[in-house]
Structure formats: structure tokens, C-alpha cells
Amino acid sequence: MSKHIGIYPSIMCSKPWELKDYIKEFEKIGIDAIHFDVMDGHFVPNITLGTGDLEAIRSLTDLPLDLHFMTEEPEKIIPYFKMKENDLCSFHPETTRQPYRLLQHLQSKKIKAGLAISPGTSVEYIENCLEVLDFILVMAVNPGFAGQKMVPSHLSKLAKIKEITKKATHKIEIIVDGNTTVPNSILMLKAGADSFVVGTSSMMKQGPEKFEESYHQYLNEISK
């Protein structure tokens, strides 16, 4: 039996008028969760997706959501976003004074808790939080904008993170976000990735009408 590869389409990469069509495709295929980026214009030089966007998606689907907070002081912003059990939530550990406590809080709400690790962020955060981590969102690009190229050090860092997670007594999912093209994803899988956030560089560049075809083609190619 082949290994399950998680797929998290980034809703930031859709046009507003495409939202319903994309969600229909996501439900038909059975994607793992919808990736939802929250940016505050301070931690990253961009502003995206707020509480109204979350409510709009909630009104259309019961699929799990994967919220990625690219914000300063995420502990103050996360409570505004109404998450459900089994949703995923990640934040950048350098943006809060108490990353361990915030992970504990998320798990107490039965939300899957994760750290988002940027190219320049130390992996020591992971080592110090292993027992309260459900997943790690490893950024292959600098956070803030879609369409960037993978940073040169990403694969070696990904392999290092994989080795660290082996020390945990439970499975910690490794999700890669950024430039997850077919050639890159093949290398990322070999380096330790379990799952991928996909967007304009892979499945979502041809619109919702081509998503199912792109989805199957992508998985077939990277699973060879």
C-alpha cells in the first residue's frame, strides 16, 4: 500500500468568484484540508484572509481548515478565528513569547497544533516543543507571497526536521508550503515531507475546472 500524501490547497490562490467551484472540487476529491493564510502586514509585508473569509468558507463546506498565522502575537489574533475540532492551526514560534503554551492551548481545544518554520528560523523550536506538536509547516520560501522559488537550503533543513521528529513518541506530520512543483515535491518527499500545500505553482494554476485533473496528475508524478 502506497504512503498517503496529504494535499492542502491554498485558498489564497483562488479568485473570489472561483471559491464555490474550488470547494466543490475539494469535496469531490476529498482533500485533507483547505489551507488558509492569515497575514497581518507586520510579520510579513502582505495582508490576506480575515474572519469574514473564514465564515464564507465555513458556510460552503465542512472540510477541515488549515490556518497558517503569519502574524505578530498570534495568541491575540487566533481567538478571532472560529476553528473547529480537527482543524489545523500553525504559527511562527518567533512571533510569540510562549510558543509551547500556545500549542498546548490549541490542543486543549482539539485543534491540531503546529509550528510554521521559515527558512531562517531555528529548528530548536521544534526540539523544545515535540510533545505538543501535531504537525510542522516547513516553509520552502520566505513567508508572505505566493509564486516564490524554493530557497537553496530548504531540502537539507527539511531532512534535519525529519530527523528531529523521529525523537517524538507520536507521529508528527511534516507539511511543506511554497513552490511545491512536481520536480520540487519529488525531492521534498525524499527529504522527509509527508504533505504539501499546493497553489499557483502546481494544482491551482489552471482554475477549478482543471483541478481534479491536476490533482491526479500531480500525485501520480510525485509518487513514482
Q: Is 194 a catalytic residue?
A: no
C-alpha cell at 221: 508524478
Q: Which candidate in 37, 53, 66, 194 is catalytic? A: 37
* 3-state SS track over 116-144: EECCCCCCHHHHHHHHHCCEEEEECCCCC
Q: Which residues of 180-214 are buried (b: 16+ CB within 10 A; e: fewer)?
A: bbeebbeebbebbbbbbbbbebbbbeeebeebeeb
Q: Assess contact for 147 and 201: CB atoms under 8 A.
A: yes
Burial class (CB in 10 A: 0-12, 13-18, 19+), 45: exposed
Which residue among the candidates 66, 87, 177, 194 is catalytic per the annotation?
A: 177
Asked about 37 being catalytic, the answer comes back as yes
Report the catalytic residues.
Answer: 37, 177
